[in-house]
Structure 1
Amino acid sequence: MAVGGRATVQSVGADPSHRFSKPPRTGIHLLADWGVEGDAHAGPTVKHRSRVRQDPTQPNLRQVHLIQGELLDELAAQGFQVLPGDLGENVLTRGLDLLGLPRGAQLQLGTEAVVELTGLRNPCAQIEAFAPGLLAAVLGHDEQGQLIRRAGVMGVVRRSGLVQPGDPLRVTLPPPPHLPLERV
């Protein structure tokens, strides 16, 4: 099932070094089963430093980090200055509730690239170091007291392609039952 709408790519970023923020680019190349070409988190096995220390042979479920641009709007309303790429995302979207999508949803970015969502980003202390109070601002709790992580979603590249700001986004949902995104 495909989900329509006017979702777009607002910004893209990549960084060959393990830094918190990623500089915005005019375009990024997504490579199937690899990630963002030239990005420190690309590859078939884990690249996040703490996970590499635990088991470097784990599959990389965090090849691409996506955040919805509306989060930056909310943070600005709370007094935080967070620009595209500041939170380390590879793709900043607009017009799509990324957090509401199920595990296995596929996002077509532009005309070719496809990213399959694997889970939620677990915000870490680096967010707090970037701006005091920001960690609490990207976390919340639902009516049942369950933790809500709002710092984006993670995915793996299923089909290669170029992604640029302004590209359309198209969502294809997996067959039911739809499983919620969990921390990866």
Structure 2
Amino acid sequence: MQINISKGGVPKMPVGSAFVSFERVDGDDWRHKDVHGGAQQVILMIAQENIDALKTSGFPVFPGALGENFTTEGLDYKTIRYGDVFKAGEALEFRITKRRAPCRTILVYGSSINEAIFDKAAHEHDWRSEKWGVSGFYAEILKEGSVKAGDTIERIKES
């Protein structure tokens, strides 16, 4: 896992470790607080595998580029559902609250990137979509804790 933060906007840059509270990843902030942040959107996580696929398609993206706090490896995002609970590091526990709907901020990486990561079915919360999970998932914090780069994330409860 890579941990990414910024003072607002993209990209978020990697840090070695961070404390994750019920409100935020320490050191992270959002430019558009009317749509980002809040108790239901403390963490945004995106799969490294999806970033790699976007790079292969010609988008100049990298871990943190899409505004994610956690860049993960080895999790099958196609199987993630709202309500699933994950553990990261020693103590952090979080629950998936919703899929990320891409915004205009990431258009800096290409005018068609939103279409590459999101479609009508994903917009309608249909997990059968080919693009389910490609844009990432938001999560709320159930148990605060510290995480460090390289920590594993494991699903501890399915919804």
Tell me the TM-score normalised to structure 1 length: 0.73
Give the structure 2 partner of residue 20 of structure 1. Answer: 10
Matches within 5 A, 1:80-159: 80-140=59-119, 148=131, 150-159=134-143
Q: Name stretches of at least 5 consecutive residues in structure 1 with no aligned partner.
A: 1-8, 42-46, 53-57, 179-184
Q: Aligned to 1:30, which of 7, 10, 20?
A: 20
How big is each residue's C-alpha offset from its partner over 1:85-139, in whole Å with a ceiling of 9 and x where there is no partner? 1111000000002342121111101121111111101101222233232112112
Q: Name stretches of at least 5 consecutive residues in structure 2 with no aligned partner.
A: none
Q: Aligned to 1:164, which of 140, 148, 155?
A: 148
Tell me the TM-score normalised to structure 2 length: 0.83
Is the alpha carbon distance of 1:122 and 1:99 closer, same or farther for their aligned partners in structure 2, counting shifts above 3 Å? farther
The answer to whether the 8 A contact 1:27-1:162 is kept is yes
Give the structure 2 partner of residue 40 of structure 1. Answer: 29
Amino acid at match of 2:157: L
- Which has the larger Rg? 1
CA root-mean-square deviation: 2.5
Distance 2:115 2:5 in 1: 25
Distance 2:4 2:71 in 1: 9
What is the number of residues matched between the two proteins? Answer: 152
The answer to whether the 8 A contact 1:99-1:153 is kept is no
The answer to whether the 8 A contact 2:20-2:92 is kept is yes
